[in-house]
Structures are given as structure tokens and as C-alpha cells.
Amino acid sequence: MQPTDGPLTFEELQLATRNRGMPLEALRYDITPVGLHYLLIHFDIPRIDVRDWRLTISDFNEPVALAYDEIRALPRTTLPVTMECAGNGRARLHPRPLSNPWLNEAIGTAEWSGTSLWPILERAGLPRDTAEIVFRGADPGIQGGVEHFYERSLTPAEVQRPEVLLAYEMNGRPLEPQHGFPVRLIVPGWYGMTSVKWLTSIRTVTVPFTGYQQTPAYHFTGSEDEEGEPVQRIRPRALMVPPGVPDYFSRHRFLDASRVAVFGRAWSGSAEVTKVELGIDGVWSEATLGESVGQFAWRSWSFAWDATPGEHVLSCRATDAAGAVQPIEQPWNYQGMGNNSVQTVAVTVR
């Protein structure tokens, strides 16, 4: 299916009614409630009986199969992590790549508890000729004409990061089924497709993995034929809680003239966010940064806006310590990946 400037398709609607965005007023919570975190599920939520479930670690020097309770008995780490779908912003591209039609809301920050992955793999013994490690989920389906289980790979260097977790709790409770029960991968800093849900196996491969979800999917590419560059770390983004009150259908915002505290969050998967700017009718001013919720989680920002009567357009943009800054307009790509162009909110001040 080629990208289109045509109207939204029935297939996109089906995806939008299944998958779930975070309403932007939920930016106010440091930790997103479970039922407000974004969800993107390629196939179906699988049915897993935890008594039968094992995580098999194969093609290692000493293969092993771990039960749920065995994983829970390992040293426990809890990390707040901001996660974002690589397709966030897709439906704002022209032409529009055909997949889940996200606008801005495919985000969330949860407190994930689990155990570091690397000590387990180290114990199993990484074969010397390992090129990558492949993570398989329990969810089968068809995409791009290929029937497969959802699978993604990482290099040994990536999985050695201590913050890469086998997670079994979200916000202090066992994972709900849609978030990967019983155990999922969490890879802080990377877009969400990397954090494989419903893990069933981890294996090594001696050549780079080319399963569908690794290649061709999740690449920055200019066309169907070009391979392009893999999508990996989350690009910087700032979002604001739309101020005032909404009109139900248009979501247009209305507020009374006053000094308004515009509030939002900003994050980047590559480096700390060092600056957030609020644009008011095209004039940018620096916002005040709050603390980060954690090393791998968003930070708050705010700006006191003297809202005067009339029609206004607010925007916000983040810059990170690596110098990356959100673009006003996004260079287009064929799959609609990583569109972190700035959010704009139209407001009528009365």
C-alpha cells in the first residue's frame, strides 16, 4: 500500500479503534496510569497460561528455560521509562504512510520492574560468533505478506546495558495482558517496537537478523525498494497539555484571558533534554525545565503565558544535549517513522 494524500481508510480506522493513544492531558502525571499508556499491538494480544509459560534461551553455550517465578526471584530493578511508538506523528505526514494513524499521542511513561537481562545471558554464555540476539513474542500474524511471530533483534553491546530489563511489573503490579504479561523486554531510550511483549524466546544468530519486523520494517527509507536506516533511539519531542477547555468534536481549545501556566513534558532517547521552547504565534521563548522523572524518562516544563483575547497558535519544541532539535516540518519517509515535528495547538482566548 502506497502512502496517500487521500482520506483516512477503513483499515486505518480499524487500527485506531484497537490501538490506544494517551490523551494529552495525561502529560500531567509523572507516571502514566496503566490504562492511559499508549498501546500498539501488531497482531492479537496472546492468551498465555503462566503455569505453562517458559522463556527459552537457546543457541547459547548453556541453554536454559526460565519459569515466571524463577525470573521474579532474580535481583529486582525498577525504572521509570518513557516509551514512544516509532510511528508517532505518522498521520501528520504528507503523503500519509498507511499504518496506525498516530497524531501525537503514542507515548507514556511507566515504572517497569524486572531484572537486568545481561546477567542471565552472561550466565548462559554468549557464543563467540554471535552477531545479534533475537527476541520473540508469543503473538503470531501476517504483515507485508509474511507470516511470523513478532521478533526483533539487538546487538550484544545493546543488551549489555544494565537498564535493559526483563520486566514483569508495570507501575507496581503484574503486567496487564496488553502490556506483555507475563514478561516483556524493556529497552530504555529506543522506540517501543524494540521492547518485545509476551517474550517466549531469546536466541543468538551469527548473521544480522532479517525477520520482517527488523528489516524491512522500522526503517527510515524514501521508498518501498530502498533499505534505508534502522529506526532505533527516540528522537527528542516536547508535548503540551492543551490549555483551556475543549470543544468535544473539533478539540479546539477555549480559555479566558489570564496568565496561563502552559505545562508539558519533553524527552529524547539519545541524550538529556536541555531546552524546551514555547512558540506563541510563531515567536519562540524558552520554557522553564523541571526535573526528569528518571534517567530514561521525560522531564516537565512550563511557561507562564499572558493569554490575550484573540486566536492564537501554541507550539513547543525540545532540544537535547546531543544538539538534536525538533523540526517544524519533518523530512518525509516512506514508513512514517520518527515524525517528531512540533505539536501545534490552536486556542481561542476570550
Report in angstroms how near the CB of residue 175 gets to a second copy at its nearest.
10
Sign of the alpha-carbon torsion through 112, 115, 116, 117? negative
Query: Residue 91 Cβ, how far from a second copy at the closest point, in Å?
Result: 7
Please report how close the Cβ of residue 131 comes to a second copy at its closest, in angstroms. Answer: 27
Q: ω into residue 216 within 30 of 0, thus cis?
A: yes
- State in angstroms the smallest separation of the CB of 171 from a second copy: 10
Would you tell me which residues interact with a second copy (CB under 8 A)?
1, 6-9, 11-18, 20-21, 23, 25-26, 28-29, 33-37, 39, 41-45, 47, 91, 98-99, 101-103, 105, 140-143, 147, 176-179, 242, 245-251, 254
Torsion of CA 20, 181, 199, 78, to 10 degrees: 90
Report residue 77: phi and psi, to 5°. Answer: -125, 140
Among residues 84 and 320, whose Cβ is nearest to a second copy? 84
CA dist 301 and 240 (Å) reads: 9
Query: Alpha-carbon distance 285 to 277, whole Å?
Result: 5
| CA-wise closest residue to 172 among 116, 115, 117, 113 | 113
- The CB-of-286 to a second copy minimum distance in angstroms stands at 25
Between residues 57 and 260, which has the closer beta carbon with respect to a second copy? 260
Nearest CB to a second copy, comparing residues 41 and 159: 41
Least Å from the CB of residue 150 to a second copy: 10
CA 142 to chain centre: 22
Judge contact between 286 and 270, C-beta under 8 A: no
Sign of CA dihedral 57, 164, 132, 209: positive
What are the grid coordinates assigned to 138, written together?
A: 508469543
Compute φ and ψ for 3, nearest 5 degrees. -55, 150
Q: Residue 49 class from Cβ within 10 Å (0-12 exposed, 13-18 middle, 19+ buried)? A: exposed
- Closest CB to a second copy among residues 160, 344: 344
For residue 172, the minimal CB distance to a second copy (Å) is: 11
Cell matching residue 231: 529506526
Least distance in angstroms from the C-beta of 100 to a second copy: 9
Residues in the chain: 350
Per DSSP, 85 falls in state -
